[in-house]
Structure 1
Amino acid sequence: MMTDSLSTNNHLSSLSTKIDDKTDDIGWKAKLKIPPKDRRIKTSDVTETRGNEFEEFCLKRELLMGIFEKGWEKPSPIQEASIPIALSGKDILARAKNGTGKTGGYSIPVLEQVDTTKDCIQALIIVPTRELALQTSQICIELAKHMNVRIMVTTGGTNLRDDIMRIYQKVHVIIATPGRILDLMDKGVPNMDLCRILVLDEADKLLSQDFKGMLDHVISKLPKERQILLFSATFPLTVKQFMEKHLRNPYEINLMEELTLKGVTQYYAFVQERQKVHCLNTLFSKLQINQSIIFCNSTQRVELLAKKITELGYCCYYIHAKMAQAHRNRVFHDFRNGLCRNLVCSDLFTRGIDVQAVNVVINFDFPKMAETYLHRIGRSGRFGHLGIAINLITYDDRFALHRIEQELGTEIKPIPKVIDPALYVTNMEDEPHEEK
């Protein structure tokens, strides 16, 4: 009798545990600390999806928790297209516009495939700039917050000895700029024998003359059985040659029927060189700027313009490649956190940098290359949101303006007397007051 009672109690206890587990399966999402829903208007660049959910990709529960707590509700088109293919182990060549969720498109499958029971480097993500490396590592850390994946960022301009010590403490994923990871590899510091995933973000830049031959060198130090995920907004000949040399029957994703973001309206204003600062002052007084990025063509002009803007009474930071790395990190961090409204910069800041609050980009100096123009204006209208790009055009820029319009298949319109706030201000009642 006593045995029957004991057996019944054990059965009830086991049943209760199963019910608790099932309830936990159903209620885990309710326990997450999900940020407030983003109610801003989004364009079809990120909304034209097949209707997939993140749960449909059979991801680990801990990774899903990080995705939802990051505020990512549903996969964007590039994420829908790349995540399941990357998880199948195939090489990928993906073309998608800046600001449409490419980082999630490769970081989610990378994190999913890491085996945390193995203390070794399993994935390497290479990006062209230090700022982009820091930003990418931050996203990966946030996505992996409920996992035991150890993520490390290493870039030039930081202490090499510190990086060596961190690698010896074991990491699973390294995010790096090409020069620094090659330096470490040539010193024999990281053991890459089990690093089976290589991600190249902004591949067109990584394969440019600036990094000539570096990626071939990196790949020579990886295992022969590897997966390469290559992401690029533009597709120059160098990318094609690299693909033919290193990728094995890659799955090609092209979401680039047009090059420019749908949410960014582009204008030009014809001015003389000496009128530019006055014109900028007028724009500051008339536009409803949440945050703005202002581009110049040289580091010297960046500093001079930042000084002028400050003298006009506006809060202004500046950033360029000749600054000390620690200073650059501080400026990037503070601007991203909204401590200042305006940032003057060189083309250092065009690649992949994601500051969601930026709704105005101004080309104080008009670029010579269509590719540079594309990346600059892509700092506004991030993730399908609205923004404007205003170009100050001198007489000497007129041919470049026409050529860039032709090459990108886009229209840059004359600036109207009044710009409709609906084109670039989403929640007008939530906009902060002008910062003086």
Structure 2
Amino acid sequence: MATARTESVGPVVMGLNKQNGQLRGQTKPAPASPAPTTQGKTLGAPQKAGGGPQDGGGIKFGDDWKKSLKLPPKDNRVKTSDVTATKGNEFEDYCLKRELLMGIFEMGWEKPSPIQEESIPIALSGRDILARAKNGTGKSGAYLIPLLERIDLKKDHIQVHVVIATPGRILDLIKKGVAKVDRVQMMVMDEADKLLSQDFVVLIEDIISFLAKNRQILLYSATFPISVQKFMAKHLQKPYEINLMEELTLKGITQFYAYVTERQKVHCLNTLFSRLQINQSIIFCNSTQRVELLAKKITQLGYSCFYIHAKMMQEYRNRVFHDFRNGLCRNLVCTDLFTRGIDIQAVNVVINFDFPKNAETYLHRIGRSGRFGHLGLAINLITSEDRFNLKAIEDQLVTDIKPIPSSIDKSLYVAEFHSDSEKWMIQTQI
């Protein structure tokens, strides 16, 4: 169950257009260097869809089907143990459909991550799952792979209720008979802590009442409050529990804070832009008004900037997200609308221009960098009013947010690539 749409919605509209969230100043020149990449794809270049079985010329029994795969460039960036501490399983160990395996490999996925190793075989068995794993460690693949494996293309009815909508809208479609879910065998709740919060849990329980009695429920999240435990006891049958959260923050993310006054924040941000090697950055504010004001300031400083928040029309949000993900802009200013379920491999710096109020929000924000075991940097601008929240969040997450040094070691957040023919560092500037 997802709550964000990310498809392309048309041509890029550039310029100082306040309505569509895309502000572009005069980009400061950067030295010639290799283009930054996102999971093996050139940042800013059109992404071509990988070839599937339909354009592979057909696979015959006995063929070496892997030879027909159209694989993306190998991603040899250093990865942390968040995704490398596996049991050594392969995707082929799970007896998946050939077409599904081809799609997995052509996405550039080579081996299952720890959460995928734990989750995929259990989900395929039909058992309920309650899984905790860090943001950016492969939770989506952990449920999407068994979901796609279990779908029977010969059956003409909803089997897994894959919907892009709010829970209220889904329930409305069910009650009107538009979405017939009485034969749904599998229900997945990603970001389950949010879906089972006080705002949505009644709607979710109402939706479940329309499903088949022997349905399978899979819950995935980085954080599980008490409300999830109550839901589990009521609706899950002997769930298999997975907990890969011995520590809450990703190992590849280095966290710093800069102690500033409110009036110094923009100047501090400008200094960070000039000194850091930012591939792409996400900058968080605590209100929609501050998002737009900050995006305008960044543009006036001469840096390209997009912004996104919940009060924008969905069409414009889709366009901004799509263009940012494809590398058309270095910096994105946003609210907490952008903290969950967003996977952009090129983001290596997250800046909390406004410090969040609670540990859960902080965890999801900084998790936008350092995706899938890669390196990332989280920088927090702290005013005197934020110092108590800073200490509380450090304690709750059992993490260490250090004072920002005068010079930040690039090896902490700039990825080093190795290939057969070259070894190079991303050396992009804003």
Q: TM-score range by the shorter chain?
A: 0.7 to 0.9
Cα gap change, 1:430 to 1:119, in 2 (>3 Å): farther
Displacement after TM superposition at 1:324 (Å): 0.3
Instruction: Name 2:303's counterpart in structure 1.
Output: 314
For residues 291-343 of structure 1, what are the alpha-carbon distances to aligned partners after superposition, in whole Å with 9 as ceiling and x for unaligned? 00000000100000000000000000000001000000000000000100000
CA distance in 2, matches of 1:32, 1:205: 38
Instruction: Name 2:404's counterpart in structure 1.
Output: 415
- Please state if 1:333 is matched with 2:322: yes
- Check conservation: 1:380, 1:387, Cα contact below 8 A: yes
- Please state if 1:208 is matched with 2:197: yes
Give the partner amino acid of 1:31.
Answer: S
Runs of 4+ more than 4 Å apart:
none
Instruction: Name 1:34's counterpart in structure 2.
Output: 71
Give the partner amino acid of 2:349.
Answer: V
CA distance in 1, matches of 2:182, 2:61: 40
Give the partner amino acid of 2:109.
Answer: W
Instruction: Name 1:122's counterpart in structure 2.
Output: 159
CA distance in 2, matches of 1:193, 1:250: 22
CA distance in 1, matches of 2:130, 2:72: 32
- Check conservation: 2:359, 2:397, Cα contact below 8 A: yes
From 256, 264, 269, give the equivalent of 1:267.
Answer: 256
Q: How does 1:178-197 map to 2 (within 5 A)?
A: 178-197=167-186
CA distance in 2, matches of 1:22, 1:294: 51
Query: Which residues of structure 1 form unaligned runs of 5+?
Result: 1-19, 126-152, 156-176
Give the partner amino acid of 1:240.
Answer: Q
Query: Which residues of structure 2 form unaligned runs of 5+?
Result: 1-58, 418-423
Give the partner amino acid of 1:86.
Answer: A
From 356, 366, 372, give the equivalent of 2:355.
Answer: 366
- Check conservation: 1:154, 1:180, Cα contact below 8 A: no
- Please state if 1:154 is matched with 2:158: no
Instruction: Name 1:16's counterpart in structure 2.
Output: none
- 2:319 is paired with a residue whose SS is helix
Displacement after TM superposition at 1:21 (Å): 4.6
Displacement after TM superposition at 1:187 (Å): 1.2
Instruction: Name 1:6's counterpart in structure 2.
Output: none
Displacement after TM superposition at 1:434 (Å): 2.4
- 1:235 is paired with a residue whose SS is coil
| Structural RMSD (CA) | 1.2
From 45, 57, 62, give the equivalent of 1:23.
Answer: 62
From 415, 420, 426, give the equivalent of 1:431.
Answer: 426
Give the partner amino acid of 1:196.
Answer: Q
From 64, 78, 82, give the equivalent of 2:101.
Answer: 64
CA distance in 2, matches of 1:358, 1:194: 40
For residues 337-372 of structure 1, what are the alpha-carbon distances to aligned partners after superposition, in whole Å with 9 as ceiling and x for unaligned? 010000000000001210100000000000010000
- Check conservation: 1:93, 1:230, Cα contact below 8 A: yes
For residues 18-66 of structure 1, what are the alpha-carbon distances to aligned partners after superposition, in whole Å with 9 as ceiling and x for unaligned? xx95531xx1011100111111110000000000000000101111010
| TM-score using structure 2 length | 0.84
Instruction: Name 1:86's counterpart in structure 2.
Output: 123
Farther-moved stretch of structure 1 (330-339 vs 421-430): 421-430
Give the partner amino acid of 1:406.
Answer: D
For residues 59-98 of structure 1, what are the alpha-carbon distances to aligned partners after superposition, in whole Å with 9 as ceiling and x for unaligned? 0111101000111000000000000000000000000000
Displacement after TM superposition at 1:210 (Å): 2.8
Q: Which has the higher helix share?
A: 1
Q: Which has the higher contact order (CA 8 A, sep 6+)?
A: 2
- 1:399 is paired with a residue whose SS is helix
- 2:62 is paired with a residue whose SS is helix
Farther-moved stretch of structure 1 (190-199 vs 206-215): 206-215
Displacement after TM superposition at 1:421 (Å): 0.3
CA distance in 2, matches of 1:21, 1:365: 57
Displacement after TM superposition at 1:154 (Å): 3.1
Displacement after TM superposition at 1:208 (Å): 1.3
Displacement after TM superposition at 1:417 (Å): 0.5
Instruction: Name 2:279's counterpart in structure 1.
Output: 290
CA distance in 2, matches of 1:376, 1:21: 47
Displacement after TM superposition at 1:430 (Å): 5.0
- Check conservation: 2:281, 2:348, Cα contact below 8 A: yes
Give the partner amino acid of 1:111.
Answer: L
Give the partner amino acid of 1:154.
Answer: I
Give the partner amino acid of 2:73.
Answer: P
Instruction: Name 2:343's counterpart in structure 1.
Output: 354
Displacement after TM superposition at 1:212 (Å): 4.0
Cα gap change, 1:313 to 1:59, in 2 (>3 Å): same
From 374, 379, 390, give the equivalent of 1:385.
Answer: 374
CA distance in 2, matches of 1:212, 1:295: 27
Identity %: 73
Displacement after TM superposition at 1:207 (Å): 1.1
CA distance in 1, matches of 2:222, 2:164: 24
Displacement after TM superposition at 1:275 (Å): 0.1
Displacement after TM superposition at 1:209 (Å): 2.6
- Please state if 1:106 is matched with 2:143: yes
